[in-house]
Amino acid sequence: MNTASAPILQVKGLSKRFGGFVALDDIDLDVGQGERLGLIGPNGSGKSTLVNCICGTLQNETGTVHFNGHALNGAPAHKRTHLGLARSFQLPRPFASMTVADNIRVPLLYTVRQRTGLVHSHIDLGRRCVELLALVGLEHLAERSPRDLSQVDMRKLELARAVASEPKLLIADEAMAGLSHSEVEDIVQLLLRLNKDEGITVILIEHIMRAVMSFSQRLAVLVSGRKIADGKPDEVVNNPQVVSAYLGQ
């Protein structure tokens, strides 16, 4: 983590229950400005629940979340988006009746309205939409329906929609599940570009370990709602507790 600046995201003592079931138990997690963090753990270990608590889709019972100097507790999801938090969903949810380009214009328009209180000119909006399509490599599919997209292109659209809100932090929740070897590499390269060229801090939640290892500067591991390791990727994957709880499965 870059220790020279304050963390962009600071989660402290966060717990979340569903009825009597403890999904997250006293989670601490700091993410540095510009960092690439891998978040791994078995299915059901609480990764998506943590994302939902950070992004405001779910409210945690205890603990605090600070983002870019703001205390987020209780803030609704749209306010967190406005502050620069974005996530992609495990199952992409594009508007099926709109074109690929319009699927990007919707969050763009929303962001511009939120930031400036004005409706941007169609020219500016169109230009940014073209930039985003190019960034993810979907220019040639701009006027198609999301229904026509392959799985990997659907993931790229999902990431473009998240990036349209001009996030400071992007959380990619299993953006590569079900993709081929080369498609996984494609998405890793795209996330690296977002981090290096656009300066976006990224949390990558992923099971595909070669993707996790090539992308992450640091790894955190959740098992049964608890963080059991957090550190340098090569040390974390050799940690006996991590091997027995997750990687050795």
Instruction: Name the site residues for Mg ion (rule: CB under 5 A).
Output: 47-48
Nearest distance in Å: CB 41, ligand ADP: 6
Give 126's contacts (C-beta < 8 A, 6+ positions apart): none
- The answer to whether 194 and 187 have CB atoms below 8 angstroms apart is no
Nearest distance in Å: CB 204, ligand ADP: 13
154: closest CA among 125, 176, 180?
A: 176
Please select the residue that binds ligand ADP; options are 7, 46, 56, 167, rule is CB under 6 A: 46
Q: Is the Cβ of residue 58 or residue 142 nearer to ligand ADP in the bound state?
A: 58
Q: Is the Cβ of residue 40 or residue 129 nearer to Mg ion in the bound state?
A: 40
Q: Is the Cβ of residue 47 or residue 80 nearer to Mg ion in the bound state?
A: 47
Nearest distance in Å: CB 69, Mg ion: 28
Check residue 43 and report its DSSP letter: T
* Binding piece for ligand ADP, criterion CB under 6 A, among 46-54, 91-99, 116-124, 228-236: 46-54
How many degrees, rounded to 5, is the angle at CA 175 between CA 177 and CA 66?
Answer: 135
User: Binding pattern to ligand ADP, positions 81-120, x when CB under 6 A?
Assistant: ----------------------------------------
Q: Where are the beta strands (DSSP E) in 32-166?
A: 36-40, 62-67, 70-71, 85-88
Q: Is the Cβ of residue 178 or residue 199 nearer to ligand ADP in the bound state?
A: 178
With binding defined as CB under 6 A, does residue 38 bind ligand ADP? no
CB count in 10 Å sphere of residue 219: 24
**Is the CA virtual torsion 79, 85, 86, 87 positive or negative?**
negative
Task: Tell me which residues touch ligand ADP (CB under 6 A).
Answer: 18, 23, 41, 43-49
